[in-house]
Amino acid sequence: MSDPTVKGLPPPPKSYDGSPYRIAIVHARWNDAVISALVAGTIAKLKEQGVKQENIVVKTVPGSYELPFASQKLIEGGKTQSANAAPSMIASTTNLLSLIDSSTTSSTPAPKAEQAAAAGPSTRPFDAVIAIGCLIKGSTMHFEYICDAVSHGLMKVQLDTGTPVIFGVLTALTDDQALERAGIGRGEKKGHNHGEDWALAAVELAAQTTEWAKGQL
């Protein structure tokens, strides 16, 4: 019998366009069948929301305990990558006056290499990180300690960095609970893939954070 508590995220008050955003997914490798389904559901829903495939970065770590550290380092790495990719006017040897002249007198299109670069993967800092893991209660206190540490760790990362970190960690009591929350339950009703909810939350938070940063409240 399907668990009646398996629910999806209610629709947001407005729709959000994910095309401007760069999203990172970092997932544990424990409980691979569940994780693989969750990651696939997350990516599919991100793309459905308009996030470009090339702007979805997926990384793995051994287990859920490593998710807070990995999320923090991904956010830092994204900011470093963005800073390194930004053109430096100080280091440039281009004559700025020639740029002004050529912009007013020439209609020559940009070289194809430049066009390709402009259309390639974004190097902007990550707008959100989705941390995905699956913890299933066993016969020791390991489950409680890891759940508590990961929950507090991911919350601290987003508060310290200012980048939304979506809590995509299943904390299930049984294998069947985890399978149903990945949409691959053993019964006739497969449940609901919560990766879809995390993708929706990531795009919504990315959009809202961008608006709030501009004072659009």
Active site residues: 142
Nearest CA to 195 among 121, 133, 143? 133
DSSP string, 77-136: HHHHHHHHHSPPTTT--S-HHHHHHHHHH--PPPPHHHHHHHHS---SPPSEEEEEEEEE
> In whole angstroms, what is the distance from residue 202 CA to residue 208 CA?
10
Q: Which residue has the tokens 């900011």?
A: 79
CA–CA separation, 23 and 213 (whole Å): 18
Q: Is residue 116 within 8 Å of 73, Cβ to Cβ?
A: no
- Decide: residue 141, CB within 10 A, 0-12 exposed, 13-18 middle, 19+ buried: exposed
Question: Comparing C-alpha atoms, which of 31, 59, 37 is closest to residue 143?
Answer: 31
